[in-house]
Amino acid sequence: MADRPMTRRRLDGPLTWFEQMQRGWDQFWFRSRSVYTLALMRVITGLMLCYNQIIWGTQLEAFLGANAWISSATSRAMAEQGFTWSFLWYVDSPGLLWAIQFLILAVFILFTVGWRTRPISVLAWLLTISMCHRLQGALFGFDQVLAVLTMYLMIAPCGAAYSLDAYLAARRKNDSVPSPRGKATISCNVATRLLQCHLCVIYLFGGLAKVRGESWWDGSAMWNVLANFEYQSLDMTLLGRVPWLLAVLALVTVFWETFYCALIWPRWSRPLVLGLALLIHGGIGIALGMATFGIAMITLNLCFLEPSTVDSWFQSGTRWVQKWTNRP
């Protein structure tokens, strides 16, 4: 009996350090979050998946056929040391390949518009992984980012907003003005946090790799990239006349990439970090001929946008479209 007042006083008193950490951990991972950001990312990811599949289709037999540049046997041999598998290892007849090509493209279209999104998102991830495992040697960062995006998007109900599923659900409820609205769920928050942490790891190791190279400290790495005609889509060699600017750009890139994992979390520094991400990846896309990779990385960075911000943009855009279409 003597212990009860002490227990009551402790519960009524300030939280201990461990209890604060526990509460912060729970708030970080397991609070509810709206789906709007992930829904926007689903639409952009779906469009990129469709584009990528169409590109593979321009040389489908050269990539996947019996006489492909990298044969099925070679692809399997390259994957022997890993836990990888692809059903495309066992398909090489032209007719079946084209049937699978259109089937995959149809799945990606359904994922984009958000029809039966829960099962379709899982199928989209499995198909994306199968393509990546079969096309080893023909991939680059764009394909890897798509695999990351589809993996985390299938965890959350990313079709609960900005989707055909949401529109049809609103119509079934006899809403006078059907609108894509999504409720907050824990799975949305978990998927968002996993995306955020994964992105931080990507940038951290990319920054540390650059720190180890001398060329990033004197700016020559930036010049070597801009002067490489293999990647050059916009002539930026004029910057060679301002070597100190190249050095500054290189140092800013290294600092931003290395400390992204720390500076992205505080609200006061997040706009600056995301702004640099837009400039750096946008610059890569415009100047170095890697537009798809730039768009994919910018899409990854969207996971740090608040759902309320994304939905306010959507509502503003909807009002603008309604106002424009109702003009006399």
In terms of average pLDDT, the best of 81-95, 209-223, 274-288, 309-323 is 274-288
pLDDT, average across residues 246-271 = 95
CA distance 105 to 53: 6
- Residue 3 has what pLDDT? 44
Of the listed ranges 13-27, 117-131, 169-183, 309-323, the one predicted with least confidence = 169-183
Residue 5 confidence class, pLDDT cut points 50, 70, 90: very low
* Cα→Cα distances 135→76, 77, 222, 292, Å: 10, 12, 30, 18
Confidence class of residue 200 from pLDDT cuts 50, 70 and 90? very high
d(CA 290, CA 233): 9
Q: If you average pLDDT over residues 101-115, what whole number do you get?
A: 97
What pLDDT was estimated at residue 12? 55
Q: Which pLDDT band, with edges at 50, 70 and 90, does 328 fall under?
A: low
Q: For residue 93, what are the contacts with CB-CB under 8 A and spacing of at least 6?
A: 66
Q: Which residue has the tokens 């306010």?
A: 312
Q: What is the pTM of this model?
A: 0.90
Q: Is the pLDDT of residue 98 over 90?
A: yes
pLDDT of residue 1: 40
pLDDT at site 258: 96
Q: What is the mean pLDDT of residues 163-184?
A: 74
Confidence band of 158 (pLDDT split at 50, 70, 90): very high
Residues 95, 96, 100, CA angle at the centre, nearest 5°? 120
pLDDT per residue as tens digits for the range 38-79: 999 999 999 999 999 999 999 999 999 989 999 999 999 988
How far is 159 from 43, CA to CA, in rounded Å? 9
Percent of the chain with pLDDT strictly greater than 90: 64
The pair of three-digit structure tokens given for residue 98, joined into one six-digit string: 């084209």
Give me the mean pLDDT over the 154-166 stretch.
94
In which band, very low, low, confident or very high, does the pLDDT at 30 lie, cut at 50, 70 and 90? very high
Of 134-148, 157-171, 235-249, 253-267, least confident by mean pLDDT is 235-249
